[in-house]
Structure 1
Amino acid sequence: MTRLPSSTPTLSAKGTRLNRRGLETREHVLRVALRCLASGDPDAVSANLVAREAGVTWGTVQHQFGDVDGLWAAVLGYVADHRGPGLTTLPDVGDLETRVRGVLEVMWQSLELPGQLALYHLRLSLPRNREDLEEQFPQTAKAIAYWDAEWTAMCEQAFADLQVDPEKVAKVRHLLPGAIRGLHNEQHLSSYTDANAGREGLAEALTAYLGAS
């Protein structure tokens, strides 16, 4: 599977070798970008704001990342490089129900992490149409495609030895991000929905669906 470019490259976007100070500046800008995006403020998805909050010039951002597309792609790479081990694999031991519940738990817990919040708010601001995304933000589009490819591989690995219908696994893979995020968002609203009951129902339904011959 194609990997994202490292969030700590040896060369700047301009092709010059980054010294220790340059690497420290890059790390600082990415940390600030992550914090801004994770805040959820609609105005935070701005490369100019990130530069101001980081105390650097736009020229520094250009030197490090090239443009806003390069910055957002680097943020995606930074999050990928700094995930905990629990977010790079899904449970792949136990019976079907145990694995389904394990997958749901991993996804639920990840939604509160700054990196996942940042990616969510960033993607909300990007073009919805894939062709527009790839035309306007080609580097970011490649980074998002990497995340999707990794998610696909993780789901397939989680159920690989259970002889589950791969077409059903693929459908569940497409369903889960929206289903889990919807339940997670619902618990923060003035709602009578019981998110825990919803997760329980989702676990039972997915176990029955994947286990059916």
Structure 2
Amino acid sequence: MTATVPLSAKGTRLNKRGLETRQVLLRTALECLAEGGAESVSASLIAREAGVTWGTVQHQFGDVDGLWAAVLEHVLHDTSTMRPRLPDSPELASRVTAIVEMLWTAMDLRTSRAIHNLRLALPRQRDELESEYPATAAAIAHFDTAWTDLVGHAFDGFDLDPVRLARVRSLLPGAMRGLHSEQYLSTYTDPAEARTGLAEAITSYLQST
């Protein structure tokens, strides 16, 4: 299957130098965003750190909405971070545990921190996000679709209530972010025990009729 060649914001094909510049900008954006803080979510900072002008960013992505959308899509299609090995155990409990641990590990990835910091800086209300950053909102929706597909494939072969599975799918990302943040707050909670309890509760919920 032939990979799609990125185009400029005006729809023209990028030459070799243009493609290299695009990759530098995307890598720099992820590095800046992963550092955290409000100042990291700055297209001007990214351009400066990448050693290019704002005009170059505009040529590549059009505007800041196009830049953020491209960063999200870049992460989504990065096979090294977004194509985890799906659990294949015949036991439901083992598959739930595998999904929980997969998300826990993903929380420490620089790309995960970058996306989290970017989303913190974006409008919280969906209608405002879609109005001000339509391309970015579409890219976030692609992440949701990918997560939905991943969970569906992870539980192939089990006769589960689709409503309960959808609720678990919605619960897991936020629950894991909460547990991950808790470990840095001088807590007495054991993160491993918390994850075990969460996995057991989800398994029980999915098994109940």
User: What are the within-5 Å matches in structure 2 for residues 71-150 of structure 1?
Assistant: 71-84=67-80, 87-88=83-84, 90-150=86-146
Report the alpha carbon displacement of residue 94 of structure 1 after superposing the two structures with TM: 2.2
Aligned Cα root-mean-square deviation (Å): 1.6
**What are the residue-to-residue correspondences of 1:178-189 with 2, within 5 Å?**
178-189=174-185
Alpha-carbon offset, residue 92 of structure 1: 3.9
1:87–1:110 CA contact under 8 A, matched in 2: no
Do 2:28 and 2:49's aligned partners in 1 also have CA atoms closer than 8 Å? Answer: yes
5 Å matches for 1:15-26? 15-26=11-22
Please list every run of at least 4 consecutive aligned residues from structure 1 whose deviation after the TM superposition is greater than 6 angstroms.
none
Q: Secondary structure of the residue that 1:162 maps to in structure 2? A: coil
Return the offset for 1:160. Answer: 2.7
The C-alpha deviation readout for 1:76-132, integer Å capped at 9, x for no partner, is 011112242774453243210010000001111111111111111101111111000
TM-score, structure 1 as length reference: 0.92
Which residue of 1 is the match for residue 61 of structure 2?
Answer: 65
Q: What is the number of residues matched between the two proteins?
A: 207
What one-letter code is carried by the residue in structure 2 that aligns with 1:130? R
| Contact preservation (8 Å) 1:133, 1:141 | yes
Quote the Cα distance in structure 2 between the aligned partners of 1:15 and 1:209: 49
Once structures 1 and 2 are overlaid, which stretch shifts more, 64-73 or 156-165?
Answer: 156-165
Of 165, 168, 190, the residue aligned with 1:169 is 165
TM-score scaled by length of structure 2: 0.94
CA–CA distance in structure 2, aligned partners of residues 48 and 85 of structure 1: 27
Cα distance change on mapping 1:130 and 1:85 into 2, 3 Å: closer
Q: Which amino acid in 1 is paired with 2:181?
A: N
| Equivalent AA in structure 2 for residue 80 of structure 1 | L
CA distance 1:169–1:89, shift in 2 (3 Å): farther
1: CA distance, partners of 2:79 / 2:139? 15
Q: Secondary structure in 2 aligned to 1:161? A: coil
Structure 2 segments unaligned to the other structure (5+ residues): none
Is the CA contact 1:90–1:106 (under 8 Å) kept in the aligned structure 2? Answer: no
**Is the contact between residue 12 and residue 65 of structure 1 (CA under 8 Å) also seen in structure 2?**
yes
What percent identity do the matched residue pairs reach? 56
Q: Aligned partners of 1:136, 1:117: CA distance in 2, in Å?
A: 23
Partner letter of residue 30 of structure 2? L
SS at match of 1:112: coil
Distance 1:46 1:76 in 2: 15
1:190 maps to which residue? 186
| Paired residues for 1:47-66 under 5 Å | 47-66=43-62
Write the letter of the residue equivalent to 2:54: W
Q: Deviations over 1:6-59 (max 9, x none)?
A: 6x50x2102332110000000000000000001112210010110111110000
Gaps of 5+ in 1: none
**1:155 maps to what in 2?**
151
